[in-house]
Amino acid sequence: MRAVTSGTRAWLLQRLTAVYMLLFLVVVLARFAADAPSSYEAWRSWIGAGGMRLAVLLFTAALLLHAWVGLRDVAMDYLHPPALRIGVLALVGAGLAAAGAWVALAVVAL
């Protein structure tokens, strides 16, 4: 029963992150269609606003979780030796964590 629950949880997480990313992109594209930032200062003030900063961080977290679930499933399906699978997943996890930290630092620094 545990394996089924884990698969269902991963499936649900994949769908929820996809829905958030889609909604975020629709809102951003609508904002750009209505009034695109015309300068660096306008872009920075728009991204640096409290609500938008949080939305960008949530988008980044959703993107990284979505990527982790997908890559983890691919690794579990196609990498059969346990040592290779663990090594690849460790590298993927480290890369995704580094990318998340970089985005967080960039957004917080605004």
CATH number, residue 102:
1.20.1300.10
Given this model, what pLDDT does residue 34 score? 94
Given this model, what pLDDT does residue 2 score? 61
Given this model, what pLDDT does residue 7 score? 85
Domain hosting 25: range is 2-108
In terms of Cα–Cα distance, which of 76, 74, 75, 66 is closest to 96? 66
Given this model, what pLDDT does residue 5 score? 62
Question: Structurally, how many domains does the chain consist of?
Answer: 1
List per-residue pLDDT tens for the chain, 110 residues long.
465 567 899 999 999 999 999 999 999 999 999 988 899 999 999 988 889 999 999 999 999 999 999 999 999 999 999 999 999 999 999 999 999 999 999 998 87
In terms of Cα–Cα distance, which of 109, 69, 61 is closest to 89? 69
